[in-house]
Amino acid sequence: MTPTVSASGLGLRYGGTRALDDVSLRLTPGVTGLIGPNGAGKTTLLRVLATAVPADTGAFTVLGHDPATSAGRQDVRRRLGYLPQTPGFHPDFTSFEFVDYVAILKELTDRGARHREVRRVLEEVDLGDVRGKRIKKLSGGMRQRVALAAALVGDPGFLVLDEPTVGLDPEQRMRFRELIAQAGEGRTVLLSTHQTEDVAMLCHRVLVMAGGRIRFDGTPAELTERAAGRVWSSAERDPGAKAGWRTGTGTFRNVGTPPAGADLLEPTLEDGYLLTLDDAGAEVAA
């Protein structure tokens, strides 16, 4: 399958900080999760791919367009939707006015067609009924849906979502997950998140980032598999474990290298993620 996004050797430094270090990836339709600790470089990678900031080194294409030239950048921007970490809402705008404003920036110049598109995307995120309400009167979950609607204007082939479920309660998060899954049907979505459940429930593929580098690139099942044989239960916290905690049943759940004969447990994606970070830490320290 021809990838929607193809990147090789992306690098970016902020002074002495290497925010991106030789990042190469290929993204295909469906939802790809991007997880990593604070400061891993996730937002920087999304901003580069969304053409909000240029990389110092490397190159990438989106749907065959190369943003290295200003014409190519414009082609990429016409085909992408970006939900940044902090969407710049004007609180006095209504949802309709905000999405319409974004649609103008996206060069939808015909007023009638633009308004139809704004209504369509607001319906798509289930906000058709409140489109005349001021954004400051909406709940956090609804605001995130307004931001998603704005990103969906023009039916982009590549959708970049930067931690869209942060700060949402479980019900709102679930609702938002449904919308992301819907948006990922036939479209390439790159979703940055701190929620391993988002990845387990939504993504066909997951990238783990740490220290500006991709440390894992595979399916959620493969990430979970990394922890097979490395999670075990014990009556007391195992001193050899990387992490261990008393569970609700009173026994300890340990993650790391088990002693011989340990009572092994089924791993989760989060276990695979923690061990991947731990292995990456060891590599950096070596």
Binding site for ligand ATP (CB under 6 A): 14, 17, 19, 36, 38-44
CB of 15 or CB of 170, closer to ligand ATP: 15
CB of 95 or CB of 165, closer to ligand ATP: 165
CB of 33 or CB of 258, closer to ligand ATP: 33
Q: Which amino acid is at 17?
A: T
Tokens of 102: 């974004």
CB of 70 to ligand ATP, least distance (A): 23
CB of 90 to ligand ATP, least distance (A): 23
CB of 26 to ligand ATP, least distance (A): 20
Tokens of 1: 């399958």
Answer for the pair 99, 93: CB distance below 8 angstroms, yes or no.
no
CA distance 217 to 266: 22
CB of 15 or CB of 186, closer to ligand ATP: 15
Beta-carbon contacts of 209 under 8 Å, excluding residues fewer than 6 positions away, are 34, 35, 36, 40, 41, 42, 45, 215
CA atoms within 13 A on the CB side of 193: 27
CB of 208 to ligand ATP, least distance (A): 11
CB of 20 to ligand ATP, least distance (A): 8
CB of 84 or CB of 258, closer to ligand ATP: 84
CA distance 100 to 135: 13
CB of 12 to ligand ATP, least distance (A): 8
Strand intervals (E) in 199-278: 205-210, 213-218, 231-234, 241-246, 252-256, 263-264
Residues 44-76 as b/e (b if ≥16 CB within 10 A, e otherwise) read bbbbbbbbeeebeebebbbbebebeeeebbebb
CB of 48 or CB of 102, closer to ligand ATP: 48
